[in-house]
With several copies, the nearest count.
Chain A
Amino acid sequence: MSIANLKEPGKLTKKDFESDQEVRWCPGCGDYAILAQVQRVLPDLGIPRENYVFVSGIGCSSRFPYYVNTYGFHTLHGRAPAIATGLKLTRPELSVWIVTGDGDALSIGGNHLIHILRRNLDVNILLFNNRIYGLTKGQYSPTSEPGKVTKSTPDGSVDNPFKPLVLALGAEATFLARTIDVEARHLQDVVRRAHAHRGASFVEILQNCNIFNDGAFNDVTDRDIKAEHQLVLEEGKPMIFGKERDKGIRMNGMRPEVVQLDSTNESEILVHDSKNPVLAYLLGHMTPPEFPTPIGVIYDVDRPVYEEGVQQQMRRAREKRGGNLDGLLKRGDVWTVS
């Protein structure tokens, strides 16, 4: 425990967010890059270091809090959203971050995840999606592709996977984004936007598990081909991609499709609007090989924040009813024996 340097928020640097614990992911794991980018963003958010709390479940990804020199709670498999909810309700002024994996968040923790999203607590959820169970050494997860051969599916998985963003949208999420472990700048931007959003921010981070699911996202990380496979979303900009920026997305009736850009169809290209839930639904569904993988902020709308509603009721109750212990004891019929 370092008697840490008590700096002004504005003076913090990445180093201030590195804990004294040796980082213990496999060499080459995508988690390193995510950690580094998050540590880079935290000093810039204007929040005193002691007001950050990282809450995680169990999994490789969930070791994250140990490496960030803020408050942290490495909880139970799947339960981080529940524990974070109690923390945030008690201490709304804290900046609460949930770090989770595809198994932690979508398998055992699915229920807590959908409920924290619908309630819209003001927390930031970073889901490290490596499409595998890393810590338990390689079983398929609810995001593994059908047919996946893993330790627990030697003949291939017969499960249909979740699309995390679509599930979150179905659960009434108010902020959806996707980014990639190795896209340093993009990841930082998305994390910043997630923090800026008031309410629950749900960020899917595509993360390579080089031990048990290496190359799961090669199409969007491989330098040579990624431009053809990433659809980088920008607010108010048309959905154009490709090395030559020669392809775009347009609607064909109620279904989106990829088209080769030319002068005749440029105006038909969809323009990104993060307030549009239908667009969010369509983007959440776009998966390779038919579509490029959308990255960036997919959805970002306002809705009342849960803990503010709670606080407001408490304020009102205090104004209306006071809060006197003696009165509470004597509530109802009392009688005195002398």
Chain B
Amino acid sequence: MSDGQTTFTKERQEVETVVIRFVGDSGDGMQLTGTQFTAASALAGNDIGTLPDFPAEIRAPAGTLAGVSGFQLNFSRSEIFTPGDHPDVLVAMNPAALKSNLEDLPTGGMLILDQEAFNEQNLKKAGYAANPLTDGSLDRYRVFAVDITRLTTLALKDSGLSNKQVLRCKNFFTLGLMAWLYHRPIEPILAFLAERFGKNAALLDANTRAFKAGLFFGETSDLFTMQYEVPPATIAPGTYRNVTGNSALCIGLIAAAERAGLPLFLGSYPITPASDILHDLSGHKEHDVVTFQAEDEIAGVGAALGAAFGGALAVTTTSGPGIDLKSETIGLAVKTELPLIICDIQRGGPSTGLPTKTEQADLLAALYGRHGEAPAVVLAACSPADCFGTAIEAARIAIKYMTPVYLLSDGYLANGAEPWLLPKIDDLPDFRVEFRTDPSGYYPYLRDAETLSRPWVVPGTPGLEHRIGGLESEYLTGNISYAPANHEQMVRLRAKKIAGIAREIPPTKIIGAESGKVLVVGWGSTYGSITAAVRSLHRDGLSVSQVHLRHLNPLPPDLGDVLRRFEHVLVPEMNMGHLSRVLRAEYLIDAIGFNKIQGRPFKVEEIVTRVKKLVEEEA
């Protein structure tokens, strides 16, 4: 440890990239262990990618398979894009955790176990007939059975804490051990402890002692013969923090509201995995944020629309089932041309589906899920940090074009985290809103010549009193009109306004050659896996290019040209082929779907294999 107080003496081996998965009972604090290890790794200068995996039940009975909670972390000296396909190291706090995760550990992988947890009771709960520690079934792995429970208890024997409290410190013992093993900086962890338990000296002391006990156990025990080290990555200079997708989204929305000079209004109803946005924004009232937990999703989006009418940057957040319910109101926003951001943090469907799992199967619903001709803008974020930029882009478009904008994220982005190079506030686009106040020549549906947008006039503006609503409006005046030609004109105008946004979309960025055999096209959270796969394919000397879309409606104006420059277009999606369907209809290109619907992100190697197969078939 370069600048630590402790000097370690064992041999230290450099490694490029490590994937660790921490698994344990929901009560074992694995999420905390994982995030602290992550924070330390980020500060150590590694590039990182993380994936928490929550159990579907709130608190399944301790020790059962249903109660297993996990956190996977990928840290590396080179640029990485995913939390890793397979763990190199599996840290399992009990038999259930081992059982439900072992299949992901490759032969020869490192397995760190809490020996004492493999008692009869726990083995039974996990459905083990024999103890895997002794029946030889783990022979393929490098097993380190550490007596975590006993050692933690020993370390805290005079702490004055209850037995239960003592056992709660096991995760910090484990963290200490792992910090030693991978030679992580310990200051940030100690600082975290001080902040977290600052008010409770006994707990601060106990957790610190447990942590250090783990650290020293690594150093002194014969079990481990060497330390590993992942040197810092070469990373763009700047200030970084670790951020989850939901958190980046919140900051993006607050920043967007500030850039627009508007209050931020969130109308929402809790639903996994979107709820954290409501929680997070509720804690930011100091930024002129109003959060409203409505009685249901319809009221959530309704309140947001009312706030938009009142002049706020209006947002509603939800997941799949809520998107269905909000569609009627979003149609009204389309018709009345009010700005509105609809964040859909997608999860496994259909219906209630798999609430804690990820999926990308709401794209077609976002595009087409409203009766009548109700075109809306659809954007998708591609990584946790990208949720920030996508939120700003969503707000910018919503306001400039007076339109609802869907922002698609998913469970994987929402809960996953990555280091984020903090933007400079002055570099953010400035889209300060000037509400119209001038009555001369005003009509509610007057149109800006370029954007075709109507003026935003808020109640309280003298002389501009007007009425809007869901019935078809007369061109310009906005009065109710059932005239056939007017309806056609208005339908086409609304479509044209949205289509016209394409003009602002920057040229499509192609990673790899500008033309060739295979183009992999993605959107949303598959970005990491696809990027890593394409890099890997490049390393293997294959000519594969990559395009990742943020703008899904309208599509980039040059996209058709780009697609046509490749012999094959492969579209990996965590659905049955939404984007590929859109590309086929739009460009008459035989886009090939590569579909995985398992509530889990693609593994890098899955994409690599699929692309190789495509190239081989070709040959």
Contacts and interface: CB of A to CB of B under 8 A. Distances in A.
Which of A6, A71, A108 gathers the greatest number of chain B CB atoms within 10 Å? Answer: A71
Contacts of B332: 75-76
B39 to A, nearest CB: 5
Interface of B is mostly: mixed
Contact of B467 (A73, A76, A322): A73
Interface residues of B, number: 99
A6 B464 CA distance: 10
A115 B299 contact: yes
Contact of B238 (A50, A108, A331, A337): A337
A90 B306 contact: yes
Interface stretch (B131-139, B469-477, B489-497, B517-525): B469-477
A142 B286 contact: no
Interface string A245-257: 0000000000000
Nearest to B314: A86
A241 interface: no
Contacts of B284: 317, 323, 328
A77 B321 contact: yes
B493 to A, nearest CB: 19
B292 A89 contact: yes
Interface in A79-94: 79, 81-91, 93-94
A76 B321 contact: yes
A331 B239 CA distance: 12
Interface string A304-338: 00000010011011101111011011111111111
A337 B303 contact: no
B440 interface: yes
Given A1-B442, A1-B466, A326-B425, A85 B306 contact: yes
B510 interface: no
B230 interface: no
A264 interface: no
Interface string B537-569: 000000000000000000000000000000000
Contact of B265 (A81, A89, A134, A318): A89
B312 interface: yes
Contacts of B240: 334-337
Given A74-B470, A86-B265, A328-B287, A112 B295 contact: yes
Given A72-B467, A73-B468, A153-B293, A139 B439 contact: no
B462 interface: yes
B251 A329 contact: yes
Interface stretch (B16-24, B53-61, B578-586, B604-612): B53-61
A291 B168 CA distance: 40
Contacts of A134: 58
A88 to B, nearest CB: 8
A24 interface: yes
A55 interface: yes
Contacts of A211: 58-59
Contacts of B352: 58, 74, 76
Contact of A328 (B251, B351, B461, B465): B251
A333 B191 CA distance: 10
A333 B296 contact: no
Interface in B276-331: 278-279, 282-300, 302-312, 314, 321, 328-329
B459 interface: yes
Nearest to B283: A154
Contact of B469 (A74, A112, A142, A155): A74
A152 B460 contact: no
Contacts, number: 292
A303 interface: no
Interface string A43-80: 00000111111010010100001100111111111110
A13 interface: no
A15 interface: no
Nearest to B185: A335
Contacts of B483: none
Given A74-B470, A112-B295, A333 B442 contact: no
A140 interface: yes
Contacts of B480: 21, 66
B282 A50 contact: no
Nearest to B422: A329
B423 A329 contact: yes
A82 B270 contact: no
A65 B478 CA distance: 14
B458 interface: yes
A87 B444 contact: no
Nearest to B469: A74
Contact of B465 (A49, A81, A137): A49
Contacts of A316: 285
Interface in A1-42: 1, 3-4, 6, 19, 21-22, 24-27
Contacts of A110: 295
A138 to B, nearest CB: 9
Given A82-B303, A115-B295, A330 B265 contact: no
Interface string A224-265: 000000000000000000000000000000000000000000
B479 interface: yes
B316 to A, nearest CB: 10
Contact of B242 (A154, A321, A332): A332
Nearest to A19: B467
B294 A82 contact: yes
Nearest to B38: A333
A151 interface: yes
Interface string B421-447: 011010000000000000110111000
A282 interface: no
B236 interface: yes
Nearest to A212: B58
Which of B64, B236, B298, B329 gathers the greatest number of chain A CB atoms within 10 Å? Answer: B298
Nearest to A317: B285
Contact of B286 (A60, A90, A322): A322
B296 A90 contact: no
Interface in B71-119: none
A321 B286 CA distance: 6
Contacts of B462: 4, 6, 48-50
A318 B293 CA distance: 20
B295 A155 contact: no
Given A74-B470, A323-B286, A50 B237 contact: no
B295 A4 contact: no
A53 B310 CA distance: 10
Nearest to B292: A89
B508 interface: no
B275 A136 contact: yes
A139 B282 CA distance: 11
Given A1-B442, A328-B254, A137 B275 contact: yes
Contacts of B278: 139, 151-152
A133 interface: yes
B196 to A, nearest CB: 13
B43 A335 contact: yes
Given A87-B310, A112-B299, A337-B45, A1 B270 contact: no
Contact of A135 (B58, B241, B305, B467): B58
A83 B59 contact: no
Given A66-B467, A154-B283, A325-B255, 11 more contacts: A50-B465, A76-B302, A76-B332, A81-B299, A82-B298, A82-B303, A83-B302, A87-B459, A94-B460, A108-B295, A330-B239
Top-9 shortest CB links A-B: A74-B469, A82-B302, A86-B306, A86-B303, A26-B59, A317-B285, A72-B467, A87-B306, A90-B310
15 contacts: A1-B439, A6-B462, A27-B62, A49-B465, A51-B459, A71-B460, A75-B305, A78-B296, A86-B308, A151-B282, A316-B285, A323-B286, A333-B43, A333-B241, A336-B240
Interface of B: 39, 42-43, 45, 57-62, 64, 66, 188, 192, 235-242, 251, 254-255, 258, 263, 265, 267, 269-272, 275, 278-279, 282-300, 302-312, 314, 321, 328-329, 332, 336, 351-352, 422-423, 425, 439-440, 442-444, 458-471, 477, 479-480
